[in-house]
Structure 1
Amino acid sequence: MKPWEKRLKDLSIDLEYCFRNYMEPDMFRKNTNNFLQTSRTVTFIIQKNKESIPNFDVWYTNEVRNAWESDEVMTWAKDARNVIEKEGDLDLHSSLKLSLIFSHLEEKDIIINTEKSELLNAGLKKLVRFTQKNLPTGISKSAVIKIERQWVTSSLKQRELLEALVYVYARIFDCCRSLADHLKIYLDKSIKKPLELKNLFENNNRIKYLKLNNRKQYSVKSESVRLCRNFKPNQVFIDAHNSNKLQLTNLENIFEFHVTTAEKIFHNYGHHISILFLFNENWKLVDFIGTQFEDHSDKFIFSRYIADRIITLKAFGLVWISEAWVRSFPGNYTKAIKDMPITGELLSVDIIDGAGNHKRTAWNIIRAINDNSLDLNKIEDKDNHQSIYSYFLTPATRALKNNKNAK
């Protein structure tokens, strides 16, 4: 390992200890201090080894100084390290936050903050009573209460502290990966990728969801799996790949490729899983997530989840492919969405970037009753129901825009 790689690995270990000790105030304080102090030394070590880095000044200016200059969180991390070393601990506060979610839009949430665990049940009862009294039945049955343990600091009030630390690690990891590319070497595989630590962040017990349709608690968990080297893709994937003559470096070509591939996959399998692809500003794939929704509550949770993931991974664009029921709206909210009459099925492909560009292709799924055959009938643009799908993707769209504006 290069010296800066070793220090990056140390940083990932410091962050893991922050996860482990999130519920232990004194240990979390110590681990946070260690992480922020270590984070600054990564770039110090890179600078110390600049003689062995070709065109160091140009690379460092582009990848560190300019990239982090207007980044609020990275500026906070630098200043926080100075506070820890020269003045003492950061001003940390822990609280419990309850959010009633009944829309994809965050500004619609109803929030209760409390400083003591014993007030949690009182807050839950208050939100349940509000839901029963003020929300139509069709909406209340899909509502979710998000229970969140939060550490915050007065110097970065708008970000949950552990989320901010994950963000800092992701930016420093990107810096080191860029340096490895610059030196034409591979970053050591034993160093945890931001996505692996992001999964720890999500799997941490800091967030629970209470679905009001069954009063049970849930949490979001994700896992990374190793690539099976012996895996052989189905011929439909091979054909789609071989037939592609496009340079997948822009929105138009990425969109055309996924539209063509989604159509072929559906015709081959008779269905298509819901899947999200995330891309960086060069339209290189940085993440993909498959999902299956049990109810409409899951959609509320998932739409917020992918927005958080976009922010952490600094994603610039997304592709969302899914099947969906078309339902008849009764004109009021007395019925839950799952109880509204089904009038059809759709397959759709959406692509969105941080500049606000949005393209969509959708097909009606045609089922022949007699022979169980399936077909796709492409929907004209004016009938594509684009506003409905944009609404579901609003948190993700805002996160993409936020990333672009932060550049």
Structure 2
Amino acid sequence: MSSSYMEPDTFRMHLNSLIQGLRNVTFMVQKQKGELVEYEDWYTRFVKEVAPKPLMRWAVRSRNRIVKESDLELLSEAKIRWVRNWAVKSERNFSFPPRMSLRDMLAVIFADPGNPRAGVVTISRRWVDKALPDYELLHATREVFIELSRLLHAGHTAAGVTSCALDSREPSCVASRIDPQPLACMDINSGGRQEHLDLDDGFGIHEVEHRVIRDERLVQKANKRYGTFTVTATHPIEVAPQLMETARMVLQKDKCHMPMMWSYRDGKIVDMISPNFVDQNGKYLMFHRLADRVESLRADGIVLVIEAWWAQGEERDAQGQLIPPRDRKDRKEVLHVAAATRGGERLSLLAPFSRTKLGKITIEDTITDSERESDVLWPFMPIFERWNQMDERDER
């Protein structure tokens, strides 16, 4: 479905096939119940848990409709996200013909003089079923897939096994091990279905992703340059102080520190990324795309290391607007390590530093800021909002 997203007929064909395949999972389990260990226990629990969930009811009704009546009634939408700053954001959905390009959609939207003319706009292609208007279809079918994976995981656990006799599959993330979590390749917020526009400059913002394969020779080279260190904690809040120590070592040696973010799920790292940007609008966009990534990964914790501007207290301009640290005369450079969890835990570690004319770095003592609504956590609001949305949909 994902690879044919821009091809309406092919997308519909794969959608129909997938929905029937998902429904067949429960049919096959029921058919073999006499051979399955503790079937009544784990299958009854599954039915009780999913029966009230609208997505699972939609999947059953959709399969019946496809088999007995006709295709689902698909609607082509564009989701528009406009970001002016950390506090000002809006989202709207528009309907468009299925084969209209994203650029043509932008042209139609901004032909209206009442639409915003500053900030960053992201337009995302969305296929929705008329019977399920609040869910994009990759998202909806992935949630059903996860529920069924949990069912199969429960059955395997009861039988004392962890994997099936599957051969190699394409994509490679489809493996023999039964995992109750989403597959890594199930990206429901792909950059390939989005266009970004910087309204201040009138230029598009293009995403480029480079994958880096771990190279043990480079690891040894890095250990020689920075020294060896070990991050032993598994909880993001506990990891943050350890990463601050390593970040201070890197800053002293390199005179800068690239942004780095680790995503956690159930105490394990599921993603590591170095997000980069060239200006403030790019930074706004970057944090919203990090929120997309957190949602796709179902991450329940994050830790981010980044250089930033910081100033103590608040200052406001003549109009009463808050002056950001980057525009204040008393600003300081800081090494910022921020950690947060979906459960509401927050921690900011700030290490102010200065540079001499010859480039020497002097790093001050680390300041601990655990306030939930601290201004240094404003950039993380898109991630916090996304977690709230996931909670509202009961996506666990």
Normalised by the size of structure 2, how large is the TM-score? Answer: 0.76
1:255-274 equivalent positions in 2, closer than 5 A: 255-274=240-259
User: How far apart are residue 175 of structure 1 and its match?
Assistant: 6.2
2:338 paired with 1:353: no
Three-state SS of the structure 1 residue aligned to 2:111 is helix
2:281 paired with 1:305: no
Distance 2:196 2:381 in 1: 20
2:27 paired with 1:41: no
In structure 2, what is the equivalent of residue 136 of structure 1? none
Distance 1:257 1:99 in 2: 36
Distance 1:174 1:269 in 2: 46
2:362 paired with 1:375: yes
Taking structure 1 as reference, are residues 383 and 121 closer, same or farther at Cα in structure 2, changes over 3 Å only?
Answer: same
Name whichever structure is richer in helix by fraction: 1
Contact 1:293–1:299 (CA under 8 A) maintained in structure 2? yes
2:16 is matched by which residue type in structure 1? N
Contact 2:310–2:326 (CA under 8 A) maintained in structure 1? no
2:96 paired with 1:115: yes
1:17-166 equivalent positions in 2, closer than 5 A: 18-45=1-28, 65=47, 68=50, 72-104=54-86, 108-109=89-90, 111=92, 113-116=94-97, 117=100, 120-126=106-112, 130-132=115-117, 140=118, 143-166=119-142
2:303 paired with 1:319: yes
Match of 2:185 among 172, 181, 196: 196
Three-state SS of the structure 2 residue aligned to 1:232 is helix
> Please, which moves more after superposition, 71-80 or 181-190?
181-190
Unaligned runs of at least 5 residues, structure 2: 174-182
2:222 paired with 1:239: no
> Please, which moves more after superposition, 228-237 or 85-94?
228-237
Three-state SS of the structure 1 residue aligned to 2:9 is helix
Deviation string, structure 1 residues 327-348 (Cα, Å, up to 9, x no partner): 7977269999798367321111
In structure 1, what is the equivalent of residue 161 of structure 2? 183
Q: How many residues align?
A: 370
Match of 1:284 among 268, 282, 288: 268
In structure 2, what is the equivalent of residue 137 of structure 1? none
Distance 1:237 1:75 in 2: 55
Distance 2:253 2:168 in 1: 37
Taking structure 1 as reference, are residues 217 and 288 closer, same or farther at Cα in structure 2, changes over 3 Å only?
Answer: same
Match of 1:212 among 169, 191, 199: 199
User: How far apart are residue 176 of structure 1 and its match?
Assistant: 5.9
Contact 1:317–1:400 (CA under 8 A) maintained in structure 2? no
Identity, in percent, stands at 21
User: How far apart are residue 252 of structure 1 and its match?
Assistant: 4.1
User: How far apart are residue 398 of structure 1 and its match?
Assistant: 2.4
Contact 2:123–2:195 (CA under 8 A) maintained in structure 1? yes
Three-state SS of the structure 2 residue aligned to 1:291 is coil
Aligned-residue CA RMSD in angstroms? 3.9
Contact 1:104–1:303 (CA under 8 A) maintained in structure 2? no
Distance 1:114 1:390 in 2: 35
Normalised by the size of structure 1, how large is the TM-score? Answer: 0.75
- Higher RCO (CA-CA < 8 Å; seq separation 6+): 1
Distance 1:237 1:169 in 2: 44
Taking structure 1 as reference, are residues 51 and 169 closer, same or farther at Cα in structure 2, changes over 3 Å only?
Answer: same
User: How far apart are residue 258 of structure 1 and its match?
Assistant: 2.5
2:235 paired with 1:250: yes
User: How far apart are residue 363 of structure 1 and its match?
Assistant: 0.8
Contact 2:334–2:352 (CA under 8 A) maintained in structure 1? yes
Contact 2:197–2:204 (CA under 8 A) maintained in structure 1? yes
Deviation string, structure 1 residues 161-209 (Cα, Å, up to 9, x no partner): 233334444555676678778624487663533333418x5143x3211
Distance 1:396 1:229 in 2: 33
Distance 2:163 2:191 in 1: 32
Distance 2:81 2:308 in 1: 27
Distance 2:286 2:125 in 1: 19
In structure 2, what is the equivalent of residue 11 of structure 1? none
Taking structure 1 as reference, are residues 385 and 173 closer, same or farther at Cα in structure 2, changes over 3 Å only?
Answer: closer
Contact 2:237–2:346 (CA under 8 A) maintained in structure 1? no
Three-state SS of the structure 1 residue aligned to 2:364 is strand
Distance 1:273 1:171 in 2: 38
Distance 2:244 2:52 in 1: 37
Taking structure 1 as reference, are residues 381 and 335 closer, same or farther at Cα in structure 2, changes over 3 Å only?
Answer: closer
Three-state SS of the structure 2 residue aligned to 1:195 is coil
Three-state SS of the structure 2 residue aligned to 1:318 is strand
2:107 is matched by which residue type in structure 1? N
Distance 1:108 1:373 in 2: 40
2:314 paired with 1:331: no
Distance 1:65 1:303 in 2: 38
Taking structure 1 as reference, are residues 212 and 256 closer, same or farther at Cα in structure 2, changes over 3 Å only?
Answer: same
Contact 2:309–2:326 (CA under 8 A) maintained in structure 1? no
Taking structure 1 as reference, are residues 74 and 283 closer, same or farther at Cα in structure 2, changes over 3 Å only?
Answer: farther
Three-state SS of the structure 1 residue aligned to 2:201 is coil
Taking structure 1 as reference, are residues 79 and 365 closer, same or farther at Cα in structure 2, changes over 3 Å only?
Answer: farther
Distance 2:86 2:75 in 1: 28
